[in-house]
Structure 1
Amino acid sequence: MADTAIFDVDGTLVDTNYQHALAWYLAFRRFDITLPVWRLHRAIGMGGDQLVAHVAGDDVEQRHGDDVRSAWVEEFDDMIDSVAAFDGATELLAEVKKRGFRLVLASSGKQKHVDRFLDLIGGKDIADAWTTSEDAEASKPAPDLVQVALDKVEGRDAVMVGDSTWDAVAAGKADIPTIAVRTGGFSVEELTRAGATTVVESLIELRDGLDDGPLGRPTR
């Protein structure tokens, strides 16, 4: 049993994954690199420091990596007004907190983006702590950010709630189980293959089933 709940933000609590994929597509196009959007989507959840090489190769990373990432920020900024919270996000966080868990919102996003998303869900009023890209040297699928999230609240054992395969892989490397929500557009098979122990369709389904899972009551 856990004493800490770590929630991924992008794609889990706020609906951003397809904006992210399209922003990466447009960023690469600035350098005459055209990648299938569906392949870019499958990399969403991975940190930008690793995504460029993963989807386009080491040569593109060496020649254009930082410039592509800067272009991605510009493209995503143009779409940010279209981002909304998923149904039930605030209520789920409040319920998990009410049950006594230490609550951390874990994001590897830019500070300005994270602030915007936390405002959408009232995260700063509910959570005990949150993270940004500034908090870890290596992003997902490295476990650094997950471990930082646990350390921020001095937790002993955690449960991760995420939407992408990369959330499950990163948490697994830190020996933390993952509940996966299909809000990010990944299949049940992809999520379980990446290590998720439970997969649910929505945040509302997760909230309704809290008593039957690891977020029922925390350890003391």
Structure 2
Amino acid sequence: MPTNGSRGRRKLGVLFDVDGTLVDSSYLHTVAWWQAFRQAGLDIPMASIHRSVGMGGDKLLNRLLPPGRDTSRDASIMAAHGAVFSTFWPALRAFDGARDLLAQCYESGFAVALASSAREQDLQALRSTLRADSFIHAATSANDAKRSKPDPDILEAALDATGLQAGDVVYVGDAVWDVYAAARLGIPTIGLTCGGTGAAELLEAGAVEIRESPRDLLTNLRDSAIGKLATRP
């Protein structure tokens, strides 16, 4: 859903994942999934769940649950996850520097888009936490994609919303699923470790550089892939 589109066409852009990248919510999702599984009588270790956070719910279930299972309960498990996660909305906090990073990218002339596969209602809660709508040109939710990460549909929707091509943008994410999705479109990804995935794993997935947090990226913005994009011929 495009926002603030009247502010003019921009030639370059930065796309941001939200959960675990701008907002400290990865472990809240882990707990929400764990409780949803427990409600269904399933015992899935939290470590396994956390390594899958960032995928769409359908793919997360396929990764964590046995093949050939009865899938008739999948919808209720995903609904339970959403219900539990919504109880955490008041506890959501933006990472230090997240709003400032969005503002700096905006002021530097980039189109700024949130390329999130969160449910629309969760995305609204995340955006309220960021308090940065004046620096955001577009945002996507699960409603904007047929297939979830690591498929690239969410990123394609963000590109369409900003009017940019894959070669015009950099993506910032915290999960290997973010990196895989961007790679399918040839978009370079800056990996942030604040979501709980280690630098080595993000680099192995294909991230072009690693930063600890939004604040770390902001501090080093000029030397980052974003800064290099801004100075390309």
Category of TM-score, reference length = shorter chain: over 0.9
Question: Is 2:116 the counterpart of 1:107?
Answer: yes
Deviates more, 1:75-84 or 1:60-69: 60-69
Residue of 85, 91, 106 corresponding to 1:82? 91
Determine what percentage of the aligned residue pairs are the same residue: 36
Deviates more, 1:114-123 or 1:198-207: 114-123
Residue of 116, 122, 132 corresponding to 2:131? 122
Which TM-score applies when normalising by structure 2? 0.90
d(CA) in 1 for partners of 2:20, 2:124: 15
d(CA) in 1 for partners of 2:207, 2:154: 17
Question: Is 2:149 the counterpart of 1:140?
Answer: yes
d(CA) in 2 for partners of 1:205, 1:107: 21
1:202 Cα offset (Å): 1.3
CA RMSD of aligned residues (A): 1.5
Matched letter for residue 175 of structure 2: S
| Structure 2: unaligned runs, 5 residues or longer | 1-10
Question: Is 2:155 the counterpart of 1:155?
Answer: no
For this pair of structures, how many residues does the alignment match?
Answer: 219
CA contact (8 A) 1:102 1:153 kept: yes
CA contact (8 A) 1:111 1:133 kept: yes
Deviations 1:123-150 (A, max 9, x none): 3221110011100000100011111111
> Who is 1:208 aligned against?
219
d(CA) in 2 for partners of 1:83, 1:64: 28
Question: Is 2:43 the counterpart of 1:18?
Answer: no
d(CA) in 2 for partners of 1:111, 1:58: 29
Question: Is 2:65 the counterpart of 1:56?
Answer: yes
Which TM-score applies when normalising by structure 1? 0.95
> Who is 2:4 aligned against?
none
Question: Is 2:208 the counterpart of 1:191?
Answer: no
| Structure 1: unaligned runs, 5 residues or longer | none
Instruction: Name segments (4+ residues, structure 1) moved above 6 Å.
Output: none
